[in-house]
Amino acid sequence: MFSSFMTNTWIVASLVALTAGLVGFFVVLRGATFAAHALPLGTFPGAAAAGLLGIAPIWGLIAFAALGVAGINRLARRQRNEVATALTLIALLGLGALFLSLSGQYAQGVYALLFGEILGVSASDIAPVAIIGAVVAATLLLAFRPLLLNSTAPDLATARGIPPQPIDLLFLATLGLATAAALPIVGALLVFSLMVGPAALARALTPRPLAALGLSAAIALATVWAAIALSYITNWPVGFFVGALAALGYILGSGKRLLVNKKKQKNFAP
């Protein structure tokens, strides 16, 4: 489990988990789970495009993440956010089907991009993921108060001079970067679960925003570590354990919140 060939896996998976946990806090807080699901699916064609151009997949992922962010942000001015996200996803998935068919590795490429290759991480993957993670973490911490106010009380944020559109774009940009870093490792389908499950549990465990932000990252890290260990022991896919543990966290968080709400109702009952 801790042999030399697994070192890169542990390092990169830890970086991805921390980044996903930080972004996931705002995903859950803003109710932007559809965007968190759509952006990874819309970004994976970038890896196929990078393969056709003969460049590193991370650059294709970043480019398509930027396209996804720009599309959602632009269309959201004319459509509802859900409609804008869906239209952007449709366009990017169409390009993804084209690029994967042209690459000649359709089935293998789709499987790798959707479910990740966490056990096939190389040393060259560490630096890009670390840089992207540092940029995302620094951005979220520096813009924590405006993001928090815009997410919880958008009208109050506007009244205090915090324009909503730049904040929305900043959030989508950090989400896109986190997606680009995580997608080759855990796959498009599991980025979503890694962002939502730990963050939902963290919000249920503490009402303090800054504590919930740190707890979300810690839970995401523990989820990935447990998934790698269980995969090594059972020889089952890492993705299965990431999804299962994240879903369990979401269920526990929802159950705890339900119990808290029931207790509050009883306390205020006449």
pLDDT above 80 for 239: no
With a pLDDT cut of 70, the percent of the chain lying above it is 78
**What's the pLDDT at 25?**
92
Q: How confident is the model at residue 257 (pLDDT cuts 50, 70, 90)?
A: low
How do residues 63-86 score in pLDDT, each as one tens digit?
877 777 777 766 666 656 666 666
DSSP structure string for 136-203: HHHHHHHTHHHHHHHHH-HHHHHHTT--HHHHHHHHHHHHHHHHHHHHHHH-HHHHHHHHHHHHHHHH
**What's the pLDDT at 197?**
85
How do residues 108-122 score in pLDDT, each as one tens digit?
555 666 666 666 677
pLDDT above 60 for 267: no
**What's the pLDDT at 229?**
87
**What's the pLDDT at 211?**
92
**What's the pLDDT at 269?**
47
Question: Phi, psi at residue 195, to the nearest 5°?
Answer: -85, -40
Torsion, CA 192, CA 193, CA 198, CA 201, rounded to 10: 110
pLDDT above 50 for 56: yes
- Count of CB atoms within 10 A of residue 46's CB? 28
pLDDT above 90 for 169: no
Spatial separation of the C-alpha atoms in residues 65 and 182, rounded to whole Å: 12
Mean residue pLDDT of the chain comes to 78
Spatial separation of the C-alpha atoms in residues 158 and 152, rounded to whole Å: 12
**What's the pLDDT at 76?**
62
**What's the pLDDT at 195?**
85
Boundaries of every domain in the chain: 4-265
Homologous superfamily, domain 4-265: ABC transporter involved in vitamin B12 uptake, BtuC (1.10.3470.10)
Q: Please report, for residues 121, 136, 153, 158, 251, the alpha-carbon distance to residue 16 in angstroms, rounded to integers and kept in the order given.
A: 12, 11, 29, 33, 22
The arithmetic mean of pLDDT across residues 138-164, rounded, is 87
Verdict on whether the full-model pTM lies above 0.85: no
The arithmetic mean of pLDDT across residues 149-160, rounded, is 84
pLDDT above 50 for 191: yes
The arithmetic mean of pLDDT across residues 168-196, rounded, is 80
